[in-house]
Structures are given as C-alpha cells and as structure tokens.
Amino acid sequence: MNLIEKEISRSMQINQRLADMRQREYQQNHKNDLLMAYFDIIFEHHEAVCLLIKEKLVGSGFVLVRPITETFLRAAWVNACSTAQQQSQLLVDDNFKFPNMNAMVKEIGAAYSAETFFQMIKDNTWKSACSYAHSGLLQISRRFDEDGNVAPYYTEAEILEVLRQTTTVLLLAGILFFKSTGYHKEALEIENNWLSPPILTNLAI
C-alpha cells in the first residue's frame, strides 16, 4: 500500500467514525438544522474526494476543496455570527448574501477569538482552491504530463496535501458541530484522537 492509498484509508476511517458519532438526537432549531446540513455536505464532499482520488479522477477531487472549505466557514459564521432572523432566512431564501470571504473570515476570527487561525485557512487554501474549482491555471497546468501529452498530472505530495487538508476540515467541522449541539464528549474524542494537540479549542459559541 503506497502513501496515497494509506491516506485514503485513514481519511475514510475518520469519515466513517464521525458518521457513526453523529447518530444522535439534536434539539431542533434553525441553527442546528443549518449546522447539520452543512456538516452533511462536508461529509459527502469529503467522501467524494477520497473516492475520486482512489479512482484516479484527481482533478475532480481537487475541485471539491473549495466547497468543503467554504461550507465549513459558512457553518462557523452561522454558528457564531448570524442572527436568528438570518438563520431563518437561510432555510428558505437561496439569494441570501453571506459576507464576502475577507469579511466573513474577519467576523469568524473575532467571534471565536482565533483571528490568526481562520486567516491562515483562507490564506493557505482559498486562492488555490478557487483555481482548481474554476479551471484556473493550477488545474490547466496539471493537464499535461512530463512529456507534454494531454493527461492528468498531479504529484504525490499535492494529492496527499489535499487528502489531509480536506480531512482536517471535516474534523474541525465535527468539533464545531458537536460542541455547538452539546455533545462535548464527541468533540473531545476528535481532538484527542485526530487533532492532538488540538488545532482549535474555541469552537463552541
């Protein structure tokens, strides 16, 4: 088993464990409904990344880095920054306008007292994620192999980075979700087993 296969296996094991952990009863309200929906979207996209890379459809897997990251940031914003009226609107109005990415990251960072952390997520991932998602230069340049033939060409290091990055976002989304819905034992399991030392401990608002 090579490094990529090992990382896919690890990522899928984490995905399945979190799927088992979230089989709980939750208080029904607009915020929890949104957080459950966002968490489920991240779950599905994360599993898709693993399966696409496993099937050598790497470029398509890389496309999902942006929606995974954006969904996590929106969940964090809804959890800590949105009003009850905004939460209600989000459940019925597809034209709801979130703050732009720079503003959202600043709001989230202030709300969680983690300005550097959320700014780091944006700075390290957003530009490249958008390039892959919108068929930008990063995606185009990986359409040619070493001999100049038109064929997908992604390095092992790049693939491992995307697998680890999307799995980390899934874990962070899990911490946010479980802490915000009152399941602190589950959040602690994530922190202790997969994010130790904890990357961010202030995800409960």
Nearest residue to 46 (alpha-carbon basis) of 33, 104, 22, 54? 54
Tens of pLDDT, residue by residue over 134-173, are 999 999 999 998 888 999 999 999 999 999 999 999 999 9
80, pLDDT greater than 80: yes
Cα 4 to its chain centre, rounded Å, is 19
> Is it true that the peptide bond before 99 is cis, omega within 30 degrees of 0?
no
What pLDDT does residue 76 have? 97
200, pLDDT greater than 60: no
197, pLDDT greater than 60: no
Tokens for 129, please give them: 């994620």
Q: Report how far apart, in Å, the C-alpha atoms of 13 and of each of 8, 69, 140, 164 are.
A: 9, 20, 32, 13
pTM metric for this prediction: 0.93
Q: Where are the domains of the chain?
A: 3-80+101-193
Q: Report how far apart, in Å, the C-alpha atoms of 94 and of each of 42, 117, 150 are.
A: 19, 29, 38
Tens of pLDDT, residue by residue over 12-45, are 999 999 999 999 999 999 999 999 999 999 999 9
- Please report how the helices 156-180 and 184-193 are oriented relative to each other, as an axis angle in degrees rounded to 10: 160
